Structure 1
Amino acid sequence: MRNGGIIFVLILLVAAAFVGAAAAEETREFVDDVGRQITLPVEIDAVSPSGPLAQIVLYSLDPDLFVSVSSEFSDIQKKYVDTRLLSLPVTGQFYGSKASTMNPESIMELNKRLNIDVVLDIGEAKETMKPDLDDIQKKTGVSFAFVTQNKLADIPGSYEKLGELLSRPEQGTRLSKYTSDLLAEFDSGMKTIGSDKKSLIYVTAIDGNSVSMVGNGSYHAEVIDYVGRNLAATSASSSGTGDGYTMEDILQLNPDFIIVSYADNHAYYQKIMNDPMWRTLSAVQNGNVYEAPNGPHNWMGGPPSIQRLLSMIWIGNLMYPDVFEYDIDTRVKEFYSLFFHYDLTDAELNDLMIYATSETSAATPAETKSSVPIFGMLAGLAATALFVWKKTLR
């Protein structure tokens, strides 16, 4: 009996060791981009995004990972997203203007039924981020992880990191390679262009004589500054809508190209193409005014995430077709399939880019030119002359 008892104890010890080893294998350690070591399951299948940037990027990795969303989807976005996500609970935003919408108590309650593996935060590292994330992780008992994806150059490395974090290494590597190759393609092309960059402005809003534009040096103007000469002044605002200008300012700048943000009924684009003062600009007369496509997100930003790569592909081809001489339709469809998991039809693509191609933009002035009264054109020219005269008197 004694020997039998010893053998039984040994069996129990061996079994316990195997169970302990198996339990240890079920978790892993991950170090995020602010140096926090986090214990995570080996396989991740339940993720909550901490804000709109994380929501966009997480979707590109795998829509099946979502167990909550940071905010509800707009009507435009609903067309492109997996319908399962439309009924998920909203957990809010941790950082940014809506930081207070992520409530630790709500996260704790949701976690009881969602069993969240990790809350994902994406963006620019802030000085207080490490203690902030440590604090909310302690309060909720849910792991929080941060990955840097701020500048365009951050995107390839961030996808490798995200693939590791979210146990989706193949998709992480696929998106990392795509973005790395794209940035290398544009670096080479922009070196060819050199100092011969076209001038442009990015108009985000128009209200009578008041015009909002994104200034150079802004995080929101990274693509504009890269592919062209952004004529807007150095950014004074961190907002995605940029800074305020008058119509007289715009007339003096007289850019080669105008990119205008999407608005309901294409209101800003139509204003530029049909207003007599705007029509005095060479960009309008030459058919070089383009409205940024919008779906599922505005290609120019709002928020400025991976879709900015689309704006780079698009604007590069518009301004330098001899350098970036690819078929834009093919490239856009490829991007939507890879990052938005959506296969665009030709009709959908045409609707999306209704005022975003050289054909449609070039056609619009010719169609509306006869309807613009000659006195309107003269008024615009007079306004320009008056503004320049005033500047010389200062």
Structure 2
Amino acid sequence: MSHSKTKFTFVLVSLMILSLVLAACGGNASNNAASGSPSAPASSPSESQATAGASETPDASAERTLTDGLGHEVKVPANPQRIIASYLEDHLVALGVKPVAQWSVANGIQDYLQTELKGIPTISYDLPYEAVSSFSPDLIIIGSSSTVEGDKYAQYSKIAPTYVLGDEINNDWRKALLKIGEVLNKSEEAQKALDEYEAKAKEAKEKLQQTIGNESAAVLWLIQKQFYIVSDKLSSGAVLYGDLGLKVPEVVKEISASGTASWNPISLEKLAELDADHIFLVNSDKSTGSEALKDPIWKNIPAVKNGHVYEFDSTHSWLYSGAIANSQIIDDVIASVAK
């Protein structure tokens, strides 16, 4: 894992834990998560093509030996029933697969997936060996390379066949979806899910061009009185600017160029320069009164004064990435600005 990815993982997990503590103190059940892989988690698109592939291609009913993103030869069961794929659940759900345990941090989960994953036991984001073993998985799918640093891969492999996507694939949700589809003998389902997303994004882009034209937008995350702004090429920024074609504000370009994470801190003073026609706000401070939103600087931002702020709590999918998360983001955007 790159230095920036590792740094963001640390920052994201810390932020999620802080947010969840605040939610608990406020007496509500909203939970936080991340975009760009605990690096909020959720994920920088890679331009390189994946090199991992099948070393054998027998029929779908037979056990297959696949080469994962780190070069391991993995004997994958023909029809695994007890899968652990922590922080990859968006892809599993898109394929119609339910894991035996789902990702969590400080008792927080991916709320936006709970229609499909309600009742699925949780497992800590750092995948303790004992916890993994307790679920008796028959296949473990790991996203980032750092998760199996040192002797971790050997330890997980003793529990069950372990397939690592590797950062090159894990950092691009499209490639990750297709690769997991390949691993699970669901390549057709994966391609269908991707095609449906692309068609939805194309339709939404055309609708936005007709309704708001060349207007700009920014995505902000408020947590513990601190604002963070999404990168122009990562997480929900990749959806707004890449998939939907919305104009990138200059402040977003500036911070994205110098930042190393999916979400980078932004001061109120810098927010005053935010030249965005629309602001999508993920508010994790609702339980503590959202004090930062009472500041005169915030109130004088043009988009705020014009009533073009669209607020969502952290149970929405804006902090994540994947076919399902991004599809829900598109729904939120259309409902907000293209009614």
Name the TM-score, length of structure 2 as normaliser.
0.62
Structure 1 residues 178 and 293: CA distance shift in structure 2, 3 A: farther
Q: Which has the higher contact order (CA 8 A, sep 6+)?
A: 2
Task: Say if 2:183 is the partner of 1:165.
Answer: yes
Deviation (angstroms), 1:38: 1.6
Aligned equivalent of 1:280, options 287, 300, 304: 300
Shift of 1:261: 0.9
| Aligned counterpart in structure 2 of residue 80 of structure 1, from 109, 112, 115 | 115
1:244 is the counterpart of 2:266: yes
Residues 253-292 of structure 1: matches in 2 within 5 Å? 253-265=274-286, 272=293, 275-292=295-312
1:86-108 residue CA offsets vs partner (Å, 9 max, x unmatched): xx362x33xxxxxxx3234554x
What is the percentage of aligned positions where both structures have the same residue? 15
Cα deviations by residue, 1:235-265 (Å, 9 ceiling, x for unpaired): 34444542231x2322233421112113253
CA-based RMSD: 4.0
- 1:290 Cα deviation after fit: 0.6
Which residue number in structure 2 is paired with residue 352 of structure 1?
none
Q: 1:316 to 1:81 in 2, by over 3 A?
A: closer
Q: Distance in 2 between matches of 1:293 and 1:129?
A: 33
Q: Which runs of 4+ in 1 moved over 6 A?
A: 127-133, 187-190, 266-270
Q: Which residue of the partner structure matches residue 214 of structure 2? A: 197
- Aligned 8 A contact 1:204 1:242 in 2: no
Where 1:252 maps in the other structure, the secondary structure is coil
Give the one of 40, 48, 56 matched to 2:76: 40
| Match in the other structure for 2:65 | 29
Cα separation, partners in 2 of 1:55 and 1:181, compared to 1, 3 Å: same
What is the alpha-carbon distance in structure 1 between the residues aligned to residue 223 and residue 82 of structure 2?
A: 42
- Measured in 2, the distance between the counterparts of 1:162 and 1:104 equals 22
User: Counterparts of 1:199 and 1:316 in 2: how far apart (Å)?
Assistant: 14
Instruction: Supply the distance in 1 between the matched residues of 2:223 and 2:194 (Cα, whole angstroms).
Output: 37
CA displacement 1:259-298 (0-9 Å, x = unmatched): 21132537787854x6544333321232211113543xx3
- Amino acid corresponding to residue 181 of structure 2 in structure 1: G
Deviation at 1:211, TM superposition (A): 3.6
Tell me how many residue pairs correspond in the alignment: 267
Task: Confirm or deny: 8 A CA contact 1:292 1:299 kept in the other structure.
Answer: no
Report what 2:228 is aligned to: 212
How far apart, in 1, do the equivalents of 2:232 and 2:333 lie?
A: 16
**Residue number in structure 1 paired with 2:27:** none
Aligned to 2:134: 110
Cα shift at 1:36? 3.6
Shift of 1:56: 3.1
**Alignment CA distance shift 1:54-1:128 (3 Å):** closer
Q: C-alpha separation between the residues in 2 aligned to 1:215 and 1:62?
A: 30
Q: Say if 1:217 and 1:234, in contact at 8 Å, map to a contact too.
A: no
8 A Cα contact 1:269 1:291, kept in partner: no
Cα distance in 2, alignment partners of residues 80 and 217 from structure 1: 28
Q: In 2, distance between residues paired with 1:280 and 1:89? A: 43
Q: Does residue 135 of the first structure (1) align with residue 168 of the second (2)?
A: no
1:69 aligns with 2:102: yes
2:30 maps to none
Tell me the residue number matched to 1:60.
94
Following the alignment from structure 2 to structure 1, what is the Cα–Cα distance between the partners of residues 149 and 109? 35
- Corresponding residue to 2:318 among 295, 300, 305: 300
The AA in structure 2 aligned to 1:281 is: I
Question: Aligned in 2, Cα 1:228/1:270: closer, same or farther, shift over 3 Å?
Answer: farther
Give the equivalent residue in structure 1 for 2:237: 221
Contact map agreement 1:160 1:173 (CA 8 A) in 2: yes
- Taking the aligned partners of 2:263 and 2:288, their CA distance within structure 1 comes to 16
Greater Rg, structure 1 or structure 2?
1
**Which whole-Å CA distance do the structure 2 matches of 1:261 and 1:25 have between them?**
45
> Quick check: 1:200–1:257 contact (8 Å CA) kept in 2?
yes
Partner AA of 2:332 in structure 1: W
The 1:133/1:171 distance shift into structure 2, 3 A limit, reads: farther
Assess, with a 3 A threshold, how the Cα gap between structure 1 residues 294 and 212 changes in structure 2: closer, same or farther. closer
- Classify the secondary structure of the residue corresponding to 1:234: helix
**Cα distance between partner residues in 2 of 1:270 and 1:288:** 19
The 3-state SS of whatever aligns with 2:239 is helix
CA distance 1:288–1:134, change in 2 (3 Å)? same
Q: Distance in 1 between matches of 2:116 and 2:130?
A: 28
Give 1:159 shift.
Answer: 3.3
Render the CA deviation track for 1:70-95: whole Å, top value 9, x for unaligned. Answer: 3266388396354441xx362x33xx
SS in 1 for 2:177: helix
Aligned-pair distance for 1:119?
A: 0.7
The normalised TM-score by structure 1 is 0.54
Deviations 1:28-78 (A, max 9, x none): 2233344443212211211012x3x213332333354x2233326638839
